Amino acid sequence: MLNELSEKLNNIFKKIRGVGILKEENINEALREVRLALLEADVNFKVVKGFIDSIKEKAIGQKVMESLSPGQQMIKIVYDELSQLLGGQQAKIPMSSVPPTVFMLVGLQGAGKTTTAGKLALFYKKEGKRVLLVPADPYRPAAKSQLEVIGKQIDVTVDSSDQNDPLIIVKNSVSRANKQNYDIVIIDTAGRLQIDEELMEELKKMKEIVNPHEMLMVADGMIGQEAVKVVEGFHNKLGVTGIILTKMEGDARGGALLSMKQVTGKPVRFIGTGEKLEMLEFFYPDRMASRILGMGDVLSLIELAQENFEKSKAEEAARKFQTNQFTLSDFKEQIKQFKKLGSIEKVLSMIPGAGQLKMKGNMAMPEKELVRIEAIIDSMTPKERENPGLINGSRRKRIAKGSGTSVQEINKLLKQFMEAKKMMKTLSGKGGVRNLWRSISSMKS
């Protein structure tokens, strides 16, 4: 996500990070490069101008020029301004004091509105909320069935109706939510290929009926500045309260994300980071600014680990490390746990200083490497997984054939496994593994 922009900015600031004396010409040169990087990322040119002017005003002053570490001070200014550009401090959406809290999703066809409704439902279900999904798009034949399939996948109720009038559908759904004590109602409305008056009038009437607490605009982050224009169009007609940007895991250059708040005045609330239903993140502008500048995002990484790692399995792995009973079967289980966090690239972007690591050789496609390791372990017998010392030459050939790999790859895996066991045994003697989960849990604020 925004890898290209992040890499360019990091290369620019690498030149001034740690510089003993920072002159005005150094600052001007760096800001020229930053301006170009942002424009190439399809950020609105007026937004870029305001951003650069604000940094320059703060950077070319006594605070930076006389600082003991002016390069670091300059980067701090850029971080603060980038955080503000993205939306500043943002807390999670408050729930209504009198349930249900109603979310109304609007947007054009193709932006991923229905899938996003499911992602949003899963997001709040994980927070312990009772969610009711409402398919209020009777015009697209597959819309209702698509939401029903999603509802089954995440075990969330979908308020299916045979009504063809979306106004009646939403009225009945909110009434049901009130009677049956649902915490949240998520309404998936109809979309069009472009903004038209008929759609806007229908959405206005729907808004009057349900009085939503949040009118969330779902926009395609891949289309850059066009997404900003679309949000403006919807906001002028309906009064959007927040934005969900989808498809941010792909080749999105960042123009929509970096321009949205400044141009529309409305915050980005969530970002979609993949096709899977769990791949929806609440958007924290300060955390995103940190990731873009290569400073990591430890808080999000901790939250991700807490959400996806099973505490009992983590503690069991720690116990086995301590008693030297950790096997290849346990190793495979840890790989499965790690894969729940998402792509390795995403995890690296959250670790300070690690976002710019370049994978080489077999690590060029780390996710494929993990799949290969799982295939090798699956091709072993239970006894071989428990005791890798049994794996002689003929067994290695059999495992290589069964997993579609080579004997050299089997040797490499076994060597890495033994080295990992040795390292973790050393850590366990210092109490490191024993306290791993406890430490992660206590760090969350």
* CATH number of the structural domain spanning residue 8: 1.20.120.140
Same domain membership, residue 234 and residue 109: yes
Residue written as tokens 């605070």? 63
Q: Is residue 91 part of a domain?
A: no
**Domain CATH number, residue 412:** 1.10.260.30
What's the gap between Cα 21 and its chain centre? 38
Same domain membership, residue 283 and residue 362: no
Q: Is residue 187 part of a domain?
A: yes
CA distance 176 to 171: 9
Q: Is residue 46 part of a domain?
A: yes
Task: Read off the pLDDT of each residue in 270-299 and give the average, rounded to a whole number.
Answer: 83
**Domain CATH number, residue 240:** 3.40.50.300
- Closest to 303 in 3D by CA, of 126, 146, 167: 126
Same domain membership, residue 327 and residue 236: no
pLDDT (tens digit, 9 = 90+) per residue, 127-171? 999 999 999 998 887 889 999 999 999 999 999 888 889 999 999
Same domain membership, residue 8 and residue 28: yes
CA distance 174 to 10: 49
Structure tokens at 123: 């997001």
Of 295, 327, 352, the one marking the end of a domain is 295
Confidence of residue 314 (pLDDT cuts 50, 70, 90): low
Q: Where is average pLDDT lowest: 70-74, 97-101, 387-391? A: 70-74
Same domain membership, residue 28 and residue 145: no
Same domain membership, residue 254 and residue 118: yes
Q: Which residues contact 275 (CB under 8 A, 6 or more apart)?
A: 115
CA distance 222 to 245: 9
Confidence of residue 336 (pLDDT cuts 50, 70, 90): confident
Confidence of residue 327 (pLDDT cuts 50, 70, 90): confident
Instruction: Count how many domains the chain has.
Output: 3
Computed on alpha carbons and rounded to an integer, the radius of gyration of the chain in Å comes to 25
Same domain membership, residue 310 and residue 265: no
Longest dimension (CA), the chain: 74
Q: Is residue 259 part of a domain?
A: yes
Residue written as tokens 């915490």? 183
Of 295, 315, 330, the one marking the end of a domain is 295
CA distance 59 to 28: 10
pTM for this model (two decimals)? 0.71
Task: Read off the pLDDT of each residue in 245-264 and give the average, rounded to a whole number.
Answer: 81
Confidence of residue 203 (pLDDT cuts 50, 70, 90): very high
Residue 364 confidence (pLDDT): 42
Exposure pattern of 175-192 as b/e (b: 16+ CB <10 Å)? ebbeeeebbbbbbbbbbe
Sequence-separated contacts (24+) of 60-63 with Cβ below 8 Å = 60/24, 60/27
Cβ–Cβ < 8 Å for 106, 76: no
Same domain membership, residue 383 and residue 286: no
Q: Where is average pLDDT lowest: 62-76, 215-229, 353-367? A: 353-367
Q: Is residue 50 part of a domain?
A: yes
Q: What percent of the chain has pLDDT over 70?
A: 78
Cis bond upstream, residue 100 (ω within 30): yes
Exposure pattern of 57-93 as b/e (b: 16+ CB <10 Å)? ebbbeeebeeeeebbbbbbebbbbbbbbbbbeebeeb
Task: Read off the pLDDT of each residue in 333-340 and give the average, rounded to a whole number.
Answer: 72
Same domain membership, residue 267 and residue 158: yes
Torsion of CA 270, 271, 273, 275, to 10 degrees: 70
Same domain membership, residue 322 and residue 222: no
Q: Is residue 92 part of a domain?
A: no
Task: Read off the pLDDT of each residue in 404-408 and give the average, rounded to a whole number.
Answer: 92
Residue 60 confidence (pLDDT): 77
In 129-278, which ranges are continuous DSSP H helix?
143-154, 166-179, 197-210, 225-238, 255-264
Q: Is residue 174 part of a domain?
A: yes
| Residue 220 scores a pLDDT above 80 | yes
- Mean pLDDT taken over the chain: 82
pLDDT (tens digit, 9 = 90+) per residue, 117-128? 999 999 999 999
Residue 10 confidence (pLDDT): 83
| Residue 359 scores a pLDDT above 50 | no
Q: Is residue 94 part of a domain?
A: no
Same domain membership, residue 306 and residue 186: no
Sequence-separated contacts (24+) of 29-36 with Cβ below 8 Å = 30/74, 31/55, 31/56, 31/59, 33/8, 34/9, 34/78
For residue 17, the enclosing domain spans: 3-86
Residue 401 confidence (pLDDT): 93
Same domain membership, residue 218 and residue 127: yes
